[in-house]
Amino acid sequence: MRVDARYRRCVVYLLAWCAYQPAARAQQDGDVEATTAFYVRTDSDQTTIVSPRVHVAAKVTPDTTVDALYTADVWSSASIDIRSAATKRITEQRDELGLALEHAFADTTLRGSYRYSTEHDYDSHGGSVSASFDFASHATMLAPALFGSVDRVGRAGDPSFERDATLLGARVSLTQVIDTHMFAQLTYEIARQHGYLASPYRYVRIGDEVGPELGPCVLPSTQCVHENNPEQRLRHAVVLSLRRALNDTFSAGASYRYYRDDWKLSSHTIRVDVAAVFGDAFLLGIDYRYYQQTAAEHYRPVYPADPLPEFRTSDKELSPLSSHRIGVELSWKWQLGTSAQLTAAVLAAPSLFLYSDFPWLERISAFESSAAVELVL
């Protein structure tokens, strides 16, 4: 079998692997692609996120594509973290706009993107440049990328509070077709954060005792002070992914991600999934993900008042934790006439987060759902 045909077959299963990204399954020869999606997440920590999304991509030349993306996150919460700042339930909205330009050459594709997001106390400008290079008649792909962002952090009700944070990172992926039924991908990412990396709304408890009976920090209080994270953070992550076509209908995939940073936080993520493509119109995907992390070096549920450490946080997301998530997605595809194509997808994903060293909350159960519609012309 020719290598090109072998590669194309693997691409079919790669697209199935991307089942949770409807835009990635666009018909490659369409001139215009429009996707709208609606995402909802609720959890037992009294947090709800509603996120509509609109994406449009158009080919301005046969080899050049322009993308525009708008996303809003409407966030409502009365969680432990919010109550620790002595506030009632709050609702906030983040708006994000992204633009990208991509050009394909014979065996090389170049892409550049810009992202701007804003909310009442936060602004972020980010961007990336990336390339992909095909070798060995498309059996090998190398994809390097650079990315970064500049953020401004404020605090509601305090116009004098303004802090900056920056991020600069690089990523490289190598994808290799192994045989007619299997491919592998290896990715390495490094990123450096600098500046204000704490939350202006999060506090830590000082004293000799801690426990659920004491409750979280409530201000004003002499037992609570602002968290303070280091102003530098260097992050590393390595991901290995494998995918195999079991037959013309079923494929299975697995991935492992290892993460470590210089805050001494490390994590392991394992993901397995099975996808089934029935004809050209129906896809079913089932996904399981396990996540486990250690605590950041300076994390404590409570800190001594004398001496008070310079770096301190009681953020539960920097504590030892583990999580389980199961996702099920269904998508349908309809051919509209000779050139148009409509795809609809729905996702349901329950998850459980376990906190072994956060006295005020042992677990959070959450449920994610989304619906997406994509039109390719």
CATH number at residue 264: 2.40.160
> How far apart, in whole angstroms, are the C-alpha atoms of residue 318 and residue 324?
17
Q: Residue 213 has what pLDDT?
A: 56
Would 186 be classed as within a structural domain?
yes
**CA–CA distance, 344 with 133 (Å, rounded to integer):** 31
Domain that holds residue 206: 3-28+59-320
**Which residue shows structure tokens 């004003």?**
220
347 occurs within a structural domain: no
Task: Return the exposure string of 196-224: e unless at least 16 CB atoms fall within 10 Å of the residue's CB, then b.
Answer: bbbbbbbbbbbeeebeeeeebbeeeeebb
Instruction: Going residue by residue through the chain, which has 377 residues, state the pLDDT in tens, using 9 for 90 and above.
Output: 344 444 444 444 444 444 334 333 334 456 899 999 999 999 998 899 999 999 999 999 999 999 999 999 998 887 766 554 445 678 889 999 999 999 999 899 999 999 999 999 999 999 999 999 999 888 999 999 999 999 999 998 889 999 999 999 999 999 999 998 999 999 999 999 999 999 998 888 887 666 555 666 655 566 888 999 999 999 999 999 999 999 989 999 999 999 999 999 999 999 999 999 998 889 999 999 999 999 999 999 889 888 889 999 999 999 999 999 999 999 999 988 888 999 999 999 999 999 999 988 899 999 999 999 999 98
- At residue 24, the pLDDT reads 39
pLDDT score recorded for residue 23: 38
Q: Is 260 domain-assigned?
A: yes
Contact call for residues 291 and 266 (beta carbons, < 8 A): no
| pLDDT for res 11 | 44
Question: pTM (2 decimals)?
Answer: 0.88
The pLDDT value given to residue 281: 87
- Would residue 168 count as lying in a domain? yes
Q: For residue 62, which amino acid is it?
A: P
Count how many domains the chain has: 1
Instruction: Locate 301 and state its tokens.
Output: 């549920």
For residue 341, the model assigns a pLDDT of 92
Residue 50 covered by a domain:
no
313 belongs to a structural domain? yes
**Collapsing DSSP states into helix, strand and coil, what is residue 12?**
helix
Residue 43 belongs to some domain of the structure = no
Residue 353, domain member (yes or no): no
Q: Check residue 83 and give its pLDDT.
A: 54
pLDDT for res 29? 54
User: What DSSP state is assigned to residue 214?
Assistant: T
List the beta bridge partners of residue 363: 354
